[in-house]
């Protein structure tokens, strides 16, 4: 019975557009507890103080959802079609933010999956939906659900199609047939670590204080001196560690319309961005994940992304 219900849930998840779906048993994350505690103790979370909150709940989903027995994890592909490109010389924006805010899309689809379960499989279905919105270690649960392994760049990697995925989960009171973690296939590869311009990565650990994504999105204060020349042109997020990962050679463009790039992503030049007024910026990014930052932060990021270019000595004229 559990196996049949689990199979139907996975089939419905696929019908709704999720790339893959796996299930793990809810419980305390004992191994992760020590790692998280040490990471926080070393201050590698930077100024993301919220990561210090709800420590017990972050490690035990049964404290988030009373009677929780299972975590249903899903992956949704957001890898773009190759012909979609930002204008040459424009500030780089992480691919995950090119389309409609993933929180909106995934929550809608997870709600549809939950309603399917409640209406057709288990009427007493008690659940909560999470999409990067609560103290849930989503990558850990996706790994435990057999959807991939956590690579040296700390992103989840699917052996079928790389790491360009959003993760969501339903924590619920339903007993299901559980999946098992797969092995780590990173091997001796260190391309992500070697390519990181700010040296934010150690094997399987990130120092957020040095991460370009953190500096351009999470950090609300001024970017520390010394990082400007290492930005590699990124103004919102960073994809370098994913771009160099050999497993992303298996990435395939998503086929749905949900994460099709918004017009301004493919049209705005650096000059357009610099000339955007606060009200216009808010309107542009209203439905995008970029709404997480305000106009002032974006303006600082633009300067941050161009610092190396602006400071570089001009090429000598051929007449000199």
Residues marked as catalytic: 132
Query: Can you read off the two tokens belonging to residue 286?
Result: 């209203």
Residue 170 forms beta bridges with which residues? Answer: 72, 129
CA distance 37 to 215: 22
CA distance 312 to 290: 29
């Amino acid at each position: 019975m559990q196996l049949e219900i689990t199979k139907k849930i996975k089939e419905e998840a696929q019908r709704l557009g999720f790339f893959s779906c796996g299930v793990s048993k809810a419980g305390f994350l004992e191994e992760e507890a020590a790692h998280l505690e040490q990471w926080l103790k070393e201050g590698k979370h930077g100024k993301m103080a919220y990561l210090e909150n709800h420590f017990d709940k972050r490690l035990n989903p049964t404290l988030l959802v009373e009677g929780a027995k299972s975590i249903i994890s899903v992956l949704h592909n957001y890898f773009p079609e190759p012909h979609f490109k930002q204008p040459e010389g424009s500030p780089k924006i992480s691919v995950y933010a090119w389309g409609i805010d993933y929180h909106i899309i995934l929550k809608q689809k997870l709600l549809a999956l939950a309603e399917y379960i409640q209406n057709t499989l288990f009427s007493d279905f008690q659940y909560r939906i999470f999409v990067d919105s609560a103290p849930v270690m989503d990558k850990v649960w996706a790994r435990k659900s057999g959807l991939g392994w956590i690579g040296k760049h700390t992103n989840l990697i699917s052996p079928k199609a790389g790491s360009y995925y959003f993760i969501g989960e339903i924590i619920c009171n339903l007993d299901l047939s559980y999946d098992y973690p797969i092995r780590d296939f990173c091997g001796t590869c260190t391309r992500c670590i070697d390519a990181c311009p700010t040296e934010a990565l150690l094997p399987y650990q990130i120092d957020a204080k040095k991460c370009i994504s953190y500096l351009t999105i999470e950090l609300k204060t001024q970017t520390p001196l010394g990082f400007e020349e290492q930005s590699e042109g990124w103004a919102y997020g960073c994809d370098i560690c994913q771009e160099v990962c050999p497993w992303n050679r298996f990435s395939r463009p998503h086929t749905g319309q949900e994460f099709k790039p918004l017009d301004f992503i493919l049209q705005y030049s650096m000059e357009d961005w610099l000339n955007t007024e606060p009200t216009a910026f808010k309107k542009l990014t209203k439905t995008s994940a970029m709404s997480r930052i305000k106009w002032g932060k974006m303006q600082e990021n633009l300067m941050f992304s161009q610092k190396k270019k602006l400071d570089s000595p001009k090429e000598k004229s051929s007449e000199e």
